[in-house]
Amino acid sequence: MVYVTPDTAAVATPHPAQALWRPAAAGLAAALAGLGVAELTAAWIAPGASPVLTVGALVIDIVPPAVKDLVIGLFGTADKIVLIVTIVLVLLLVAGLAGILESRRPPFGRLLVVLIGAIALFAALSRSSASTLDAVPAVVAMGVAAIALTFLTTRLPVDRRTGHSATASSPEQVPIHLEEGGPDRRRFLVYTGITAGIGLLALAGTQFSAAATRAADAARALFTLPTPSVRAAAIPAGASLDVAGITPLITPNADFYRIDTALSVPRIDPRDWRLKITGMVENEVEIDFAELLALPLEESTTTLACVSNYVGGDLIGNATWLGYPIRELLARAKPTGNADMVLSTSQDGFTAGTPIEALTDGRNAILAVGMNGEPLPLEHGYPVRMVVPGLYGYVSATKWVVELKLTRFDQEQGYWTPRGWSAQGPIKLSSRIDVPRQGASVSAGSIVIAGVAWSQHVGISAVAVQIDDGPWQDATLADAISVDTWRQWAYTWQNASAGDHTVKVRATDAAGLVQTSATADVAPNGATGLHEISVSVSG
């Protein structure tokens, strides 16, 4: 009889594959069970505390801005899916390790499980809107995974000859011969399968909660917006050019870019929604949804843009919004002389710092409830968000907004400012070529080049196009809706010759500023440079 201490077992591994896969499978099954049961618990009792999503939110909060840009650049709006898949893959990898560790050096596998659970717990509780209930899913995950891991690793098949667990190999390196399909092995497989199955079933069960979100969305769609007391400026017939493939003048809600730090879309019942105006004010104001809807609402068309939009990118959209001027609510609250910033807070904790000036100078800075004739879609801020012409979204467009605090730029910062982005974020003059597409092959002759240009709250006065190193040629501008919206443009390139060419676009704003060719990165306050495409013209 040979006795093996855990130490000798860990060093002597005659058949590594044989020795590893069962405990790794035990770890994976235990993690699946823990994750599944925890996600199901979260779905029903703490919708904001899904372990995967809160860990994802923590990752979003701590990654350096350069990594965030890289991920958005690489994956666009699929960035969230990439993040979730990465978190699950890392979890499964660590779970396999925990299984191996637990089979060789108990209780270190369980300790690893507790460590992962602690990270999830920290992630759930560090959100600004966290309640104690939000601790439950992570604790459930930890408990279920630890129990399942202990259960499975103590049922690993045993080597009949030495009496040792198959993972604890004998020190004299004798090959271990286990009867294939022996009763221990089969029992272990069945237990592991059942454990993993419980996890998968529980994960499938979270779909019922997804159904609840769809129900909330259905309720949203049933609710009818009040008639505006001020209609949006009529859209001139000449504002849309008749060019195939050009960006539509108004972006349909379903195609509107979405950028936020919320991994699960906040589900706010409008009956519970309230907005508080606090801070440096003479009167604190509080308003509920019914009161907001009863006010004279105004419609306006505004182009929203993200500071992370690189030159030529698509993190920009134009919609007709319905809402109430923020300046009217601020007037009720009576800001005191010192305040220069409104720090708006979302229900999920995101904040934006907006200059009071931009909210009170008469532009259409609104608390919006409608987008293109519909209540705001859930992911665009239902029931209420801010829209402020001229400023990037990160300093102005708070979705699911619940508080406006009057304060000062030297006292408070919005969410992105301590993360490497400027406190002030006016949208920069820019333009984009939509047709032809980058890399397109077109036939020689006359080729229509078209796109959009914008300089919110200033307006566009000219757009010019350059072919290769040729002279800048004026494009035709479509009519403007207002200075707060993008403007379509087109240019007909006559007698395009066969071969490879580059096309560049450059806009001039209504104040005479010409779009710079100097390139700047999106951080800290928006990209600059000229959009350039290459096309190949066939003869």
- Would you tell me which residues interact with Mo ion (CB under 5 A)? 259, 306, 393-394
Choose the one of Mo ion, ligand MTE, none that binds residue 535, judging by a C-beta under 5 to 8 angstroms depending on kind: none
With contacts defined by CB under 6 A, name the span among 168-176, 226-234, 258-266, 451-459 that binds ligand MTE: 258-266
Determine how β-strand 341-346 pairs with β-strand 401-407.
antiparallel
Burial class (CB in 10 A: 0-12, 13-18, 19+), 517: exposed
How many other CB atoms sit within 10 Å of the CB of residue 407?
A: 21
Closest distance to ligand MTE from the beta carbon of 251 (Å)? 9
Under the binding rule (CB under 6 A), the answer on residue 398 touching ligand MTE is yes
Residue recorded with tokens 């843009």: 305
Closest distance to ligand MTE from the beta carbon of 354 (Å)? 11
CB 333 within 8 A of CB 285: yes
Nearest to 139 by CA among 114, 162, 168: 114
What whole-number distance in Å separates Cα of residue 467 and Cα of residue 500?
Answer: 11
Closest distance to ligand MTE from the beta carbon of 402 (Å)? 10
Under the binding rule (CB under 6 A), the answer on residue 59 touching ligand MTE is no
C-beta closer to Mo ion: residue 72 or 404: 72
What whole-number distance in Å separates Cα of residue 36 and Cα of residue 90?
Answer: 16
Helix (H) or strand (E) holding 227: none
C-beta closer to Mo ion: residue 399 or 457: 399
What whole-number distance in Å separates Cα of residue 248 and Cα of residue 320?
Answer: 13
Under the binding rule (CB under 6 A), the answer on residue 419 touching ligand MTE is no
Closest distance to ligand MTE from the beta carbon of 227 (Å)? 24
**CA distance to 212, 296, 302, 427, per residue, from 374 (Å):** 20, 17, 16, 26
CA 43-48-53 angle, to 5 degrees, is: 85
Closest distance to ligand MTE from the beta carbon of 260 (Å)? 3
Looking at the chain, how many residues does it have?
539
Alpha helices in 126-182 (DSSP H): 136-153
Choose the one of ligand MTE, Mo ion, none that binds residue 348, judging by a C-beta under 5 to 8 angstroms depending on kind: ligand MTE
Choose the one of Mo ion, ligand MTE, none that binds residue 304, judging by a C-beta under 5 to 8 angstroms depending on kind: ligand MTE
Under the binding rule (CB under 6 A), the answer on residue 394 touching ligand MTE is yes
Closest distance to ligand MTE from the beta carbon of 262 (Å)? 6
C-beta closer to Mo ion: residue 170 or 318: 318
Choose the one of ligand MTE, Mo ion, none that binds residue 159, judging by a C-beta under 5 to 8 angstroms depending on kind: none
C-beta closer to Mo ion: residue 306 or 329: 306
C-beta closer to Mo ion: residue 69 or 484: 69
The residues in 477-536 that bind ligand MTE, with binding defined as CB under 6 A, are none
C-beta closer to ligand MTE: residue 30 or 401: 401
Among 137, 325, 393, 436, binds ligand MTE (CB under 6 A): 393
- Is the peptide bond prior to 106 cis by the omega test (within 30 degrees of 0)? no
**CA distance to 71, 83, 192, 313, 416, per residue, from 77 (Å):** 9, 11, 37, 12, 18
Under the binding rule (CB under 6 A), the answer on residue 322 touching ligand MTE is no
Among 68, 80, 110, 399, binds ligand MTE (CB under 6 A): 399
Among 259, 295, 462, 510, binds ligand MTE (CB under 6 A): 259
Residue recorded with tokens 């395009």: 496
Question: Which is it for the CA torsion 282, 283, 289, 294, positive or negative?
Answer: negative
Residue nearest to ligand MTE (CB): 393
State the amino acid at position 282 in one-letter form.
E
**CA distance to 106, 116, 253, per residue, from 92 (Å):** 19, 11, 36
Under the binding rule (CB under 6 A), the answer on residue 321 touching ligand MTE is no
Closest distance to Mo ion from the beta carbon of 523 (Å)? 11
CB 518 within 8 A of CB 494: no
Closest distance to ligand MTE from the beta carbon of 296 (Å)? 24
C-beta closer to ligand MTE: residue 354 or 398: 398
Closest distance to ligand MTE from the beta carbon of 295 (Å)? 22
Tokens of 314: 């698509």
Closest distance to ligand MTE from the beta carbon of 387 (Å)? 9
What whole-number distance in Å separates Cα of residue 66 and Cα of residue 408?
Answer: 28
Closest distance to ligand MTE from the beta carbon of 333 (Å)? 21
Under the binding rule (CB under 6 A), the answer on residue 261 touching ligand MTE is yes
CB 478 within 8 A of CB 240: yes
C-beta closer to ligand MTE: residue 42 or 262: 262
CA-based Rg of the chain, rounded to a whole angstrom? 29
- Is the peptide bond prior to 524 cis by the omega test (within 30 degrees of 0)? yes
DSSP conformational letter for 245:
T
Residues within the interface to ligand MTE (CB under 6 A): 256-262, 304, 306, 346, 348, 350, 380, 393-394, 397-400
